[in-house]
Structure 1
């Protein structure tokens, strides 16, 4: 994810001292996938699990990396590279971010190369995403410690792989 040409994102000032009212923060889990940094709103995350024992699914779409057993339940793992139409990462994925779809019996996860942290990001620091067609699943971008981080919109991420989930998540995200 490169910065829009000719535009530099303003870095987040986490140590701002002022008499102003505190700015609204958005809690995101920061992670690396496909060699890029992403933020995912924490309300979508159920848990983080080590990525072990993946079973490949024959004839599955490119977006589905495979399945694994999570405490007796089937967890379907999605690869962001396939969902976003971008090249896969150069390092292996080591974690599964298990997503929380309250209205679904299915367990779904995204694979990540690295989990960084949960961070409160000022709403004003998130700027519109670049008009890059391959990253149409971003709701915004921000700079943190010299890295550009894309904030994922899960309804757009899954719209291609699971159109009915994309619509359901759009409705839930508006709540």
Structure 2
């Protein structure tokens, strides 16, 4: 079975360390699996039920839902903004949760990971993302996670894929997500 994993990156910043971590996941995907970074989260309007009606759903939201629905699993990369996840990531989760109980996230294996400047690597934001994803219907892989502290210093001159420790840990996370997707597909 070929496993398709969609990566959502909660940072829109050019040169984002979370984007770089997602790029590393793309390169570290094991044989038989593909990780694809989904661009365009900045184009998705804030969730509003008034525009989430058949025939009126914005194209960027439709593209987001279709990409996630077609995936076998997700990797969600979250930086930490003021102790929580970025609005762009929460907005994507809101769009993906609808229709309630049957959204694109429904029963989809998801791992939340990321990096941040602080000493804990953004764990508060990642915990908030896990909570929101679980409520939205995803199958959150609670024990499959990675938080890399000190991103500004650690990745100042080194891409995460070239950091042996991060690459090994990230590779293990991707392999666990692939295994969860394969298990879900066989159930």
Normalising by the residue count of structure 1, what TM-score does the alignment of the two structures yield?
Answer: 0.26
Larger radius of gyration: 1
More strand by share: 1
> So what's the TM-score if we normalise by structure 2?
0.25
